[in-house]
Amino acid sequence: MSYKTQYSHSKTNPMEYWQEKSKLIDWYQAPNNILSQDKDDFYHWYADGSLNTSYLALDLHVNEGRGDQIALIYDSPVTNTKEQYTYSELKILVAKFADVLASQGVTKGDRVLIYMPMIPQAAIAMLATARLGAIHSVVFGGFAPHELAVRIDDATPKVVVTASCGVEIEKVIPYKPMIDKAFEDANYKPDTCIVFQRDVLNADLIPQRDVDWQTAMATAEEHAPVPVLGTDPLYILYTSGTTGKPKGVVRENGGHAVAMKYSMDVIYGMKPGDVFWAASDVGWVVGHSYIVYGPLISGCTTILYEGKPIKTPDAGTFWRVCEEYKVNALFSAPTAFRAICKEDPNGAEISKYDLSALKRLYLAGERLDPATYHWLKDITHLPVIDHWWQTETGWAIAGIPVGIEMLEPKEGAAGVAIPGFQVEILDHDGNAVKQGESGYIAIKLPLPPGCLPTIWNNPERFKTGYLTSFPGYYVTGDGGFIDKDDYLFIMGRTDDVINVAGHRLSTGEMEEVISNHKDVAECAVIGIKCELKGQVPLALIVLKNGVDETSHIHNNLKELIREQIGAIASLKEVLTVDRLPKTRSGKILRKVMRQMVDGEEVQVPSTIDDMSILDELKVGFGSLIS
């Protein structure tokens, strides 16, 4: 069946389409109530189905005779550690840690907050929580105590699970002091903190509250999976909100399991036994969906990597992992590959490795600029597939559905809408625009299985944040257009459109032009205040290694913008910087830079990767600051 046929079916009869796809997973009790609405008119999938996500990810494969297959590979260049776990071994560890959690009073519906580095125990804790029918909330390891306390107060977890430390390239980050301060600051007090002691640092435990992971596991028994309903929550994942208070995105068990199995096949083309590597972190949605749940539910081998794309030890580390474990598909953010390109622009490192098992590269998390797209294609000779999704959706809204039909990736496009997502481009009044015209990207309700049904403890925020701007639609917050071939182009967040003398211009388009320059490794364009024109664009560029002269490059870039976009888009200034401020997941903090230049109060998000870069930028901005 072709892509267009499947997409049309999902659009005209979503209930029938997703009833058929529900058969992809092994339910304890198959659902009859496929799509329902609650008192707030929010949609839910598979309300009367019964299942357990941990069972689907582990026990099912063991029962089907594939217990000896490698389920999880742990590769940590920062600690020089490598471990592999078969499905049978991982199932035993998960079942035993579920027993540890149960011994601390965790039952179905309770919350467990997980604050862990990229180690196998993070995935074990997630799967063990799911095994009990409890709800996990993973917080990115390294978040400050205040951010932890905010999430503790919102999720009210019975237990917090952590490790003694995180390890980065040149430093060890003690976690326990941050946990202790968060416990102190939070209004809600969890009962227990379970601590996994890493070899590099031993944490001090507080008597009567803290539990040693290794000691508890020594006497634990295997706990059986607890059946839950399709609409029972699997996890809460906090994403930063515009109000400063994090939003707890809820993921329900039934729709999530179906979406994971479906997407691993349709979007990534993965089959049982294939090796899939999402080079992300379990603290982000990519880590939830495609380090832990998606690959394991699909019977694949997944890789949990504790390191960076460069300096662990060099720009060839990604390719080393791909060769060593015969990776079939690699998924990471464009920022990771731009870092590799900056260190190794000619791709010398890749020639050292055998990548014959690698079929495709996937990128998401931010716009895939043409320069990175072409660089990757040229050095790997592989399909480079951009795809677009959000923490809220949990899986890709648009991409190349290789499991249905291998459509040709198109430069600059995020692919086509994946069946289940009725993507439309709307104008200010909520009317559909003509093909090729830009507007607000919205998804007609109902969203497919696996997407958020609400915000934890805040249904009103779900309504006002996503559903009220255009009734009957979920508003993504991104702008873009759909071309004549039905490919979706994402031009950035709707607040990244600047108004220059009454002309609305996309900073994403300007970044596309600048990133194509042969000497530019990375760039960001922001709109800054101008008394005459309202706003004017400012470009910040990071040059590739070995490129020094800048004034000539700056002039070239200004000419390119004028030629390719128009005189109205003339750059006020181009600044060369050593690095751009980013979140830990790699997103460039354009809003922070705009606030700095415009002399506004700077709202620094808790997810910033390195605070010191802001001081560097203040010096660089100099007289530009209002």
pLDDT of residue 507: 80
Helix axes 334-343, 370-380, angle to 10 degrees: 70
pLDDT of residue 448: 98
> What is the C-alpha to C-alpha distance for residues 389 and 575, in angstroms, rounded to an integer?
31
Question: How many alpha carbons lie under 13 Å from residue 139 in its C-beta half-sphere?
Answer: 31
Proportion of the chain in helix, strand, coil states, percent, rounded to 5: 35, 25, 40
Closest CA to 160 of 148, 150, 172, 168: 148
Give percent of the chain above pLDDT 70: 94
pLDDT of residue 620: 76
> What is the C-alpha to C-alpha distance for residues 5 and 609, in angstroms, rounded to an integer?
44
Q: How many CB atoms lie within 10 A of CB 64?
A: 12
Any idea what DSSP says for residue 519?
T
Q: Three-state SS for 539?
A: strand
Type of residue numbered 516: N
CATH architecture of 501-624: 2-Layer Sandwich (3.30)
Any idea what DSSP says for residue 465?
I
Question: How far apart, in Å, are the Cα atoms of 426 and each of 4, 112, 430, 497?
Answer: 22, 40, 5, 15
Any idea what DSSP says for residue 198?
B
pLDDT of residue 551: 86
The CATH number fitting domain 3-307+387-480, selected from 3.40.50.12780, 3.40.920.10, 1.10.357.10, 3.40.50.2300: 3.40.50.12780
Closest CA to 7 of 475, 405, 394, 391: 405
Q: Residue 196: beta bridge partners? A: 163
Phi, psi of 527 (to 5 degrees): -95, 130
Query: Where do the H-state alpha helices sit in 443-532?
Result: 459-462, 507-515
> What is the C-alpha to C-alpha distance for residues 416 and 394, in angstroms, rounded to an integer?
17
E strand map for 286-401: 301-305, 329-332, 360-363, 384-386, 398-399
Residues of the chain with pLDDT under 50: 242-243
Tokens matching residue 337: 């590959």
Tokens matching residue 243: 């109000």
For residues 536 and 530, is the Cβ–Cβ distance under 8 A?
Answer: yes
Tell me: the pLDDT tens digits for 248-275?
A: 999 999 999 999 999 999 999 999 999 9
Whole-model pTM?
Answer: 0.84
Tell me: the pLDDT tens digits for 361-404?
A: 999 987 788 889 999 999 999 999 999 999 999 999 999 999 99
What residues have CB less than 8 Å from 552, skipping those under 6 apart? none
Tokens matching residue 169: 């390239």
pLDDT of residue 242: 44
Burial class (CB in 10 A: 0-12, 13-18, 19+), 455: buried
For residues 50 and 228, is the Cβ–Cβ distance under 8 A?
Answer: yes
> What is the C-alpha to C-alpha distance for residues 277 and 16, in angstroms, rounded to an integer?
32
| Domain range list for the chain | 3-307+387-480, 501-624
Question: How far apart, in Å, are the Cα atoms of 447 and each of 2, 43, 368, 400, 478?
Answer: 22, 8, 25, 19, 16
> What is the C-alpha to C-alpha distance for residues 219 and 99, in angstroms, rounded to an integer?
10
pLDDT of residue 494: 64
Any idea what DSSP says for residue 495?
G
pLDDT of residue 240: 64
For residues 64 and 273, is the Cβ–Cβ distance under 8 A?
Answer: no
pLDDT of residue 243: 44
Closest CA to 385 of 350, 423, 365, 414: 414
> What is the C-alpha to C-alpha distance for residues 362 and 522, in angstroms, rounded to an integer?
19
